[in-house]
């Protein structure tokens, strides 16, 4: 609980989190022993840089402000992907459900991230939707 409290206090001060990005829009992920997926977030650039090794070597350290994070957490929650708080190299994680974290972040968001927040984005195109007509 101390790790989570420290993480929340640190990001509240800066109003951003740090991630590892493989390429634009594709971020580092990890799984627990049950195969549940998590997006790791760090409270500082330095901690994220330390984590950019092993399977994450070559990933770029990037930050995300609360407005974008709030929007993104909604997508993660709909995909059943939760947050791993500053995971360490020992494999132990402190997890936060994406929806719960979004509720916590929302009051601190300045809503400067203007991507449309569409609740109808769960449309299933079905198999072969990218195939040519004909």
Q: CA 95 to CA 39: how far, in whole Å?
A: 10
Q: Map out the domains of the chain as residue ranges.
A: 2-108
Q: What is the pLDDT of residues 67-94, one digit of tens each?
A: 999 999 999 999 999 999 988 767 678 8
Identify how many contiguous H helices and E strands the chain contains and give both numbers: 4, 7
Q: Which residues does 64 contact at the CB level (< 8 Å), separation at least 6?
A: 16, 17, 18, 19, 72
Q: What is the DSSP letter of 132?
A: P
pLDDT in tens, 1-51: 788 889 999 999 999 999 999 988 889 999 988 999 999 999 999 999 999
- Domain range 2-108, its CATH number among 3.40.50.720, 3.10.450.50, 3.40.309.10, 3.40.1350.90: 3.40.1350.90
Task: Work out the percent of the chain whose per-residue pLDDT is above 70.
Answer: 81
CB atoms closer than 10 angstroms to residue 123: 7
């Amino acid at each position: 609980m101390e790790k989570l409290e420290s993480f929340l206090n640190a990001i509240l001060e800066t109003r951003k989190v740090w991630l590892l990005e493989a390429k634009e829009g594709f971020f580092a992920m990890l799984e627990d022993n049950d195969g549940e997926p998590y997006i790791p977030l760090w409270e500082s650039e330095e901690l994220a840089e330390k984590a950019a090794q092993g399977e994450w070597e070559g990933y770029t350290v990037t930050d995300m402000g609360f407005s974008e994070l709030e929007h993104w957490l909604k997508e993660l929650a709909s995909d059943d992907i939760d947050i791993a708080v500053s995971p360490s190299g020992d494999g132990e994680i402190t997890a936060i459900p994406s929806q719960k974290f979004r509720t916590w972040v929302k009051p601190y968001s300045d809503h400067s991230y203007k991507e449309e927040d569409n609740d109808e984005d769960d449309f299933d195109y079905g198999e072969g939707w990218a195939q040519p007509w004909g």
